[in-house]
Copies of this chain bind each other. A is one copy, B any other.
């Protein structure tokens, strides 16, 4: 008998089609492989990107826009939004519009072309997280922006156009709808219970264990109770905190370990799939969400080929139960080749 399950935060129902349960090997997986060729993100090609906004260099040496960096942040060469100008909110008949103002940046995670978040040393992943934080703190000062979205498209099937491992940051004058839904659901729960719904989820999932993928000192990774996609996971900080940028260095060390482990597990179980990673943190301004929101990282491997129907309906059929997915991921042994820190 298939099950209908409700996501406690967004209140979206999904069908968990356990009758036609699909194991990892049932999906037509497309392993992400390197094709090579010219790469504008590799050291030596710094002139092929717009000038850097931020870069970390060993020993603080080295010249701007020259090799020697470990993490490098540049504006997106083809930005979806323009950085200059005012919002100019206005009516268009009965409709509403504003100028497409925002920041669109690229965080190049490593100077090494072949590295991924599964193969990079934990220390290097920590640096990437610090770069997220530094950019958020800087952009928060711009009062035009209401939200900063950090995400990763890994592999062509997940939307990546360049294979050198990178994340993207978009600063927006609005809160994207899926984050708005989470905020609204979390606020409703807080009004009812005076507790953070994510903290309650962490408590319940730690006790139950059937959907736990991994746990370390600071973080718990679970398969959500009502996931839209097979093998979707969520990494939650165990300590309540609404804003990613308030995490401390211990948190970033634990998160780096967790990201490396969970992506390693995904790579082992699903044969290095394409995936999307999204950071959900609280909006910059707007209602005070410190009590009821709880930042987290969502990981969605791209296993099912089509989504047109889901776009039109918001209705999802997931052929793998989260308990089954969690069991595969939990039991996976990661033997990622870790390159030495340079």
Contacts of A315 in B (CB 8 A): 149, 170, 172, 176-178
Contacts of A178 in B (CB 8 A): 312-315
Question: A97: which of B4, B97, B274 is its contact (CB, 8 Å)?
Answer: B4
Question: A80: which of B15, B158, B201, B278 is its contact (CB, 8 Å)?
Answer: B15
Check A98 for interface membership: any CB of B closer than 8 A. yes
Question: A176: which of B16, B17, B173, B314 is its contact (CB, 8 Å)?
Answer: B314
Question: A99: which of B4, B81, B312 is its contact (CB, 8 Å)?
Answer: B4
Question: A311: which of B10, B95, B172, B276 is its contact (CB, 8 Å)?
Answer: B276
Q: Do A6 and B82 touch across chains, with their CB atoms under 8 A apart?
A: no
28 contacts between A and B (CB under 8 A): A1-B82, A1-B99, A2-B80, A2-B81, A2-B82, A2-B100, A4-B97, A4-B100, A5-B92, A5-B95, A6-B96, A8-B94, A8-B96, A11-B177, A15-B80, A15-B100, A17-B100, A93-B204, A93-B208, A151-B312, A151-B313, A153-B309, A157-B306, A159-B309, A172-B315, A178-B312, A298-B312, A307-B307
Interface contacts beyond A1-B85, A153-B309: sample of 13 additional A-B pairs, CB < 8 Å, sorted by A: A1-B99, A2-B81, A6-B96, A8-B94, A13-B176, A13-B177, A94-B200, A95-B226, A153-B308, A158-B306, A159-B307, A179-B314, A276-B309
Interface residues of A (CB under 8 A from B): 1-6, 8, 10-13, 15-17, 19-20, 78, 80-82, 85, 92-101, 149, 151, 153, 157-159, 170, 172-174, 176-181, 200-201, 204, 208, 225-226, 228-229, 274-276, 278, 298, 300, 302, 305-315, 317
